[in-house]
Structure 1
Amino acid sequence: MAENYYETLGIDRNATPEQIKKSYRKLARKYHPDISKEADAESKMQAINVAYDTLSHPEKKAEYDQMLDHPQGFAGFGQQGFNGQQSDGSQFYNNYQGNAGDFHDFEDLFGRFGAGFGGGTRRQRQSQNVQFPGEDQHAKIEVPLAVAYSGTTQQITLQIPSYNAHGEAEIQRKTLQIKIPKGMKEGQQIRLSGQGQSGINGGKNGDLYIEINYQETPQLYVEGADVYQQLNISPWEAALGGKVDINTPAGRLQVNLPTNAKNGQQLRLKDKGIPNTSGAGHLYLTMNICLPTVQTDTQKQAFQDLAKQFNDFNPRG
């Protein structure tokens, strides 16, 4: 039996949003193709991303739980139905994603999950000659973390379920320019008035909500307004300390390293996290001591001399 999303992330169904995110980050650090030595790292990371995308969003998680409890009612749905990834990195999600080929036609697809459209088919509701407002719709996009510091205007393209003038269900391709202000936290939404599903019989259009997510790596991620970045340093920098210049999402900064720094030790740079009106977050640098590769006899001798100088040091003692 194939793993479900909870098994993929190694959590149970009662896991909190914080536990889901923590598990995802732990697995991402293990299987990220850029750093993992696992043979199936790429496919594992893809499965982890799909699982996290569903379980981290309350509405999608609730629908997925319903599918697990009532699998017979979702027999035609593949798990890809919970991860509507677009080519530009944006995602569209709602109650009616899945394989349209499993239904008689799009009218059946929209009618079967009519709760997302106010119930009934478009033609039935048009024939009532009563105004119906369009449903709100949701999408999310990933943007570079630098956007949190400066803001940007970005063009996105979404494929959104809609109806044509004849009341027939169809997929509409919509390209929009959205302004992302600086200081947005992970998961915050931008509301685009009137850009959701169109109303019926002159009813008001619904709104489109764009959820902002920041691109993360095992070396750089966000928690609220705080930013965590890995800082690679040499053994001598760790031992002797001193000033180093580094690139961060907040710009190029000079950092004072303490003497005898330990691997995993953190430095806090106050107010260098995501800026916002209530006060900026902080930037946490996690020190990662990197060992050089010995390539010459001189370099080998340097390590032998170091071993003599620290002959009473036993890292396993």
Structure 2
Amino acid sequence: MEYKDYYRIMGVARDATQEEIKRAHRKLARKYHPDVSKEPDAEAHFKEAGEAYEVLKDPEKRAAYDKLGSEWQAGQEFHPPPDWDAGFAFRGGGYTAADPGLHSRFFEELFGRDYARSARAAGRQSLRMGGEDQHAKVLIDLEDSFTGATRSISLRVPELTDAGRLGARERTLRIRIPKGIRPGQQIRLAGQGGRGFGGAEPGDLYLEVGFRDHPFYRLIGADIYLDLPVAPWEAALGANVQVPTPSGFVDLRIPADSQQGRKLRLKGRGLVGRASGKQAAAPAGDLYVVLLVTLPPADSDAAKQLYRQMETQLGFNPRAASGGFKSHG
């Protein structure tokens, strides 16, 4: 999809005040309003300016958009970085239920998520003037899901300075991470959302959980994948080795004649299940160990001699062993 430079569309600097952004939108709205404008593609420009203003007028959306950085050019092929919106606190759902006929694909990808649950909660709160629910995305370590943990997290809360410029304050919370929580699930912090009016109760804060990239585990659904380097003789002859899992090291038997890429399954060693309300805990995932046959370097005379002995004594041709290559000449 194409990157949208909302500041360029509005004709303002990236450090523009909210009043400057408002004035720019009024000017563009008058220039491109379809009912009065004679400009070419007036309706398209009018919608584009409206979309840009919808983002830049809102401190929370603007702060999240600014996090993407300024190195992108308008029209450039763009894909949001993973977890680009982590660490921001948003009022209500924080996102708009985007109308495909009104917004661009770029807008929908970044801001088109719809928290229906929070919308219903916001409706209830409006009747009692309670505080707004807030939402944020936080990243935790995979291991925290296995054992449960208590961690301090920091959230950036966008707000306007007295000069009307975009700023942010840091908010630190001590939270309990439930055992078995999975990416996409939420932690509810009662009373940690927006303040209520007239002494009414504050809203709640919902933290959507994501996992940080792990140095050696990959997560697919509830299953965990681990690439395990093994020596050629371990793969060929079989071996007993210790492999790490999020809950500790376990013994693993590598069968003889194992090939590169072979997957060995450790049942129930993936993400643990988490009970929710009256629902039973989901079954635990599995851990798959993927074998990576790693050759010793031929960096000494002795090592080179061993490789030459293997060449002459084994008579092994990997191309012939795999079926050979057919000539197309």
The residue aligned with 1:81 is 64
Give the one of 193, 196, 218 matched to 1:196.
193
2:291 to 282, 287, 307: 287
SS in structure 1 opposite 2:308?
helix
How many residues align structurally? Answer: 216
- Give how far 1:297 is off: 0.6
- 2:318 counterpart residue number: 314
SS in 2 for 1:204: coil
Aligned equivalents of 1:224 and 1:232: distance in 2?
24
- Residue number among 92, 108, 113 corresponding to 2:88 in the alignment: 92
1:146 is displaced (CA, Å) by 1.2
Contact 1:92 1:159 (8 Å CA) reproduced: yes
C-alpha distance in structure 1 between counterparts of 2:307 and 2:209, whole Å: 48
- Unpaired runs of at least 5, structure 2: 5-45, 57-61, 69-84, 96-114, 119-126, 161-165, 274-280, 325-329
Question: Displacement of 1:71 after TM fit?
Answer: 3.4
- Matches of 2:49 and 2:316 in 1, distance apart? 67
Q: CA deviation at 1:217?
A: 4.0
Task: Name the CA shift for 1:238/1:181 in 2 (closer, same or farther; >3 Å).
Answer: same
- Unaligned ranges ≥5, structure 1: 6-68, 97-115, 119-129, 164-168
Q: Distance in 2 between matches of 1:185 and 1:260?
A: 36
Give yes or no for the alignment of 1:148 onto 2:145.
yes
User: Could you say which residue in structure 2 is the equivalent of 1:268?
Assistant: 265
| Cα 1:84/1:138, change in 2 over 3 Å | farther
**Partner residue of 1:219?**
216
Q: Is the 8 A contact 2:245 2:269 kept in 1?
A: no
- Decide whether aligned partners of structure 1 residues 142 and 246 sit closer, same or farther in structure 2, where only a CA change above 3 A counts: same
Query: Which residue among 239, 253, 258 is the counterpart of 1:256?
Result: 253
Within the candidate set 170, 180, 202, 1:205 is matched to 202
| Greater Cα radius of gyration, structure 1 or 2 | 2
CA distance in 2, matches of 1:247, 1:229: 9
Taking the aligned partners of 1:161 and 1:195, their CA distance within structure 2 comes to: 16
CA distance in 2, matches of 1:299, 1:235: 14
- Distance in 2, matches of 1:241 and 1:287, equals 12
> What are the superposed Cα offsets for residues 30-85 of structure 1, whole Å, 9 maximum, x if unpaired?
xxxxxxxxxxxxxxxxxxxxxxxxxxxxxxxxxxxxxxx95322436689734759
Identity %: 36
Q: Distance in 2 between matches of 1:240 and 1:71?
A: 65
Q: Mapping of 1:5-84 within 5 angstroms?
A: 70-75=47-52, 81-82=64-65
Q: Say whether the 8 Å CA contact 2:242–2:250 is kept in structure 1.
A: yes
Q: What's the C-alpha RMSD, in Å, of the aligned pairs? A: 3.5
Partner letter of residue 244 of structure 1?
Answer: V
| Distance verdict in 2 for CA 1:289–1:195, change over 3 Å | same
- 1:46 matched to which residue of 2? none
Q: Which of 131, 134, 139 is matched with 1:134 structurally? A: 131
User: Whole-Å Cα distance in 1 between the matches of residues 179 and 255 of structure 2?
Assistant: 32
Q: Which amino acid aligns with 2:306?
A: A
1:220 is displaced (CA, Å) by: 1.3
| CA 1:309–1:235: 2 relative to 1, 3 Å | same
Aligned 8 A contact 1:158 1:174 in 2? yes
1:164-187 CA-partner distances (Å, limit 9, x unpaired)? xxxxx9855322110012111122
> How far 1:192 moved relative to its partner?
0.4
Letter in 2 for 1:253: V
Q: What TM-score, normalized by structure 2, do the two folds share? A: 0.57
Q: Could you say if the C-alpha distance between residues 246 and 91 of structure 1 is closer, same or farther in structure 2, counting changes exceeding 3 Å?
A: same
Deviation at residue 93 of structure 1 after TM alignment: 5.1
